[in-house]
Amino acid sequence: MVATLAAAGEETPGVGRPESGPCGVLNMIEIDNVTKVYKMGDTELAALGGVTLTIADGEMVAVMGASGSGKSTLMNVLGCLDVPTSGRYILDGEDVGKLPDNRLANIRNTKIGFVFQTYNLLPRLTALGNVELALMYGDSRNRRQRAVDALERVGLGDRVKHRPTELSGGQQQRVGIARALVKNPGILLADEPTGNLDSRSGDEVMRILHELHAEGITVIIVTHETDIAEHANRTITMRDGLVVGDESHAVPSTSNGL
Amino acid sequence: MRPLDVLRTALWSLGSNKLRSGLTLLGIIIGVTAVIALMTIGRGVQQGITSRIESQGANLLFVQPGSTSSGGVSGGQGSGSSLTLEDAFALVDPVFAPSIKAVSPQIATNAQIVAGRENTNAQVIGITPEYGLVRNAVIETGRLVSSGDILANSQVAVLSASVSEELFGLLSPVGQTVRISGRQFTVVGILEDNNVGFGQSNQVLIPITTAYYRLASQRTAQGGISVQSINVEATSQEDMSTAELEIATILRLRHRITGDDDFVISSQQGLIETLNETTTALVLFLGTVAGISLFVGGIGVMNIMLVSVTERTREIGIRKAIGAKRRDILFQFITEAVILTMSGGVIGLILGLSFGPILNGRAVLGPRPIETGFSLDIAIIALVVSGAIGLLSGIYPALRAARMHPIDALRYE
């Protein structure tokens, strides 16, 4: 399972599905012929119709597609929020396709950080409280300090006591990122992270995602904006529940992105 | 999730909707207060009855004639006239009845008592000096009937405080004369009212011989002086049953009984038990009524928890997305419900308890002062029950929350 080696480097994995490469970077995500079928009464709706994909550790991938293309469903499956109807999903060497609810929760807690389009912060908690929340359900040693560190890392060291309503959209999204990264996850899943933001805040959010990527975190961004997708070094395009395009490209440097 | 975090999260959630939490709390508080107040009052009534009965004399046995029956109609217990004064004296027997400490026979009748222009009705009881000891009769002023009075058939009377007050007001009656059924009696003492709560408190005590010869001369078929009851004090609580056996043996021998006894022995214990059964039934009934209000409070908690789960669907989704397990969500909501009901239980307990001292010794619901009795078990019951209600009413909403699918929950608007 872990044997497949990915094409090396953060910059340019091979076009298409990365095969074994020289540098020995492990695959973070391997999905094999994954389907997701929703039953609505008598009719069955295939949101994913057999997706096969490999994402190496440390990649920065954009998943593009129109609404209804299945990119959100893919995101949910990748994030262990949902289980595939069929097919295999190996995350960080572990087959997670058939795991019980509790184990999935554990994986979400330790390996995956979510960044949502609508931030999804708890309105009555402070920024610090929201970040600490992520540590509440797992290893909670040094919780306060780690949460403060995470907030400082996204540039909100002076906003820890603010509630979401007292923060701008960009700041709220940065709290969301801090909440995702405070657990030191291997993967950051961002679902339209800049969808609700003005371009300046959006650039700031993208800059932080780039930094995290540079630190070795696998970043997966779901978006329908091409200029956001250009930040990634690989773009996976989806349509009707299938992967229709998978291309790698050179990444503009972080400074260019701003 | 650490227990402290569970607790803190629950408190935070409850605190973020204070009005709603408060109103829900109120339902539980009222229920618990009602239960506690009624239970302490019920317990107080029970303790009051027990202590009043026991204040009449400890380790007391009552011997009464068996029932007569004429033409198949039973006259009821005590209607016969089989017991005599001699029977009573025969019970004072250190050899055959070592468990009997003292014996006090009595003849009672109702009569009109007149003093000057005042008159009242009272129970006139012919007694021996042992009455004071056996029945714990307390003399306020003057003296009780003496042996000399018995021998001389003296026409002396001891009035109970209530009779004295009715006839003489605040004046001291000692030395005054009263007429009982037309006969002159000199008042020699005042007896403290008995507070049994049943039977008369209007009492006049006179020598038993005087009662027999002057007021109620009833003889048995054999010609003995008939008495209505014999009060027997056993040497100790443990000797009660032995004493009962000794009394039965002596009386059976004296009455030459081969078949059914012509007397009945009853004890205070039996009386206390009977009364306790009655009051327990009453307390249970009241408790059930109060329990219903607690139950309604529990429904309120469940209702609010269901609303809260629906309202916080998104929060549940967020928590699940960042790694909360079903168990974490389950515990969170159950903890909220339990905190709600437990704190309602504590506040209700305090309120219910404070009703105790307020009501205690006051005649709120009738002429007799209410007594309250509290013990730890009531507090424990209140807390356990309110906790259990929280658990029961919280478990279904919490299960609903825990079973939510993270994606659906996150999308909920």
Of B1, B16, B405, which has the smallest distance from its Cβ to A124's Cβ?
Answer: B16
Residue B197 has pLDDT above 50, yes or no: no
Q: Which residue in chain A has the smallest CA separation from B412?
A: A120
pLDDT tens across A17-71, in order? 344 444 455 788 999 999 999 888 888 888 999 999 999 999 999 999 988 899 9
* Rounded CA separation B329/B6 (Å): 9
Q: Supply B230's token pair.
A: 């014999």
**Are A76 and B16 an interchain contact pair (Cβ–Cβ within 8 Å)?**
no
Mean pLDDT of the region B112-122: 89
Considering CB atoms only, which of B324, B327, B407 is closest to A76?
B407
Question: What's the average model confidence in pLDDT over B99-117?
Answer: 89
Question: What is the pLDDT, as a whole number, of residue A5?
Answer: 40
Residue A160 three-state SS = coil
Gyration radius (Cα) of chain B, Å: 32
Per DSSP (E only), the strands in chain A are 5-6, 25-40, 43-56, 60-64, 86-91, 94-95, 112-115, 187-191, 218-223, 234-239, 242-248
Domain covering A59-80+99-257, topology: Rossmann fold (3.40.50)
Q: Name which residue leads in pLDDT, B67 or B143.
A: B143
Contact B322 A81 (CB under 8 A): no
In chain B, pLDDT over 70 holds for what percent of residues? 89
Domain ranges of chain B: 3-53+273-411, 81-261
Query: Above pLDDT 70, what percent of chain A?
Result: 87
Where is average pLDDT lowest: B56-60, B200-204, B314-318, B369-373? Answer: B369-373
Q: Confidence class of residue B413 from pLDDT cuts 50, 70 and 90? A: confident
- ipTM, two decimals, is 0.86
pLDDT of residue B368: 60
A101–B325 C-beta distance less than 8 A: yes
More confident residue, B218 or B131: B131
Mean pLDDT of chain A: 85
pLDDT in tens, A182-226: 999 999 999 999 988 999 999 999 999 999 999 999 999 999 888
Please say if the pLDDT value at position B257 is more than 90.
no
pLDDT at position B26 is 93
- Residue B52: the pLDDT is 74
The H or E element spanning position B64 is strand B60-65
A120, B318: Cβ pair inside 8 Å?
yes
Position B364 scores a pLDDT of 59
Tell me how far apart the alpha carbons of residues B84 and B52 are, in angstroms, rounded to a whole number.
Answer: 29
Q: Are residues A11 and A251 in contact, defined by beta-carbon separation less than 8 angstroms? A: yes
Q: Phi-psi region for residue A240, left (φ > 0), alpha (ψ -120 to 50) or beta?
A: left
Check residue A133 and report its DSSP letter: H
Res B286 pLDDT > 70: yes
Distance from CA of A255 to the nearest CA of B (A): 31
pLDDT at B58 over 60: yes
Per CB distance under 8 Å, which residues of B are interface residues toward A? 1-2, 5, 9, 12, 16, 314-315, 317-328, 405-407, 410
Please report the pLDDT score of residue A4 as a whole number: 40
Identify residues of A whose CB sits under 8 angstroms from chain B CBs. 76, 79, 81-82, 101-102, 105-106, 108-110, 114, 116, 120-122, 124-125, 133-134, 136-138, 140, 179, 183
Q: State whether A179 and B326 contact (CB < 8 Å).
A: no
How many other CB atoms are found less than 10 A from the CB of residue A144?
13
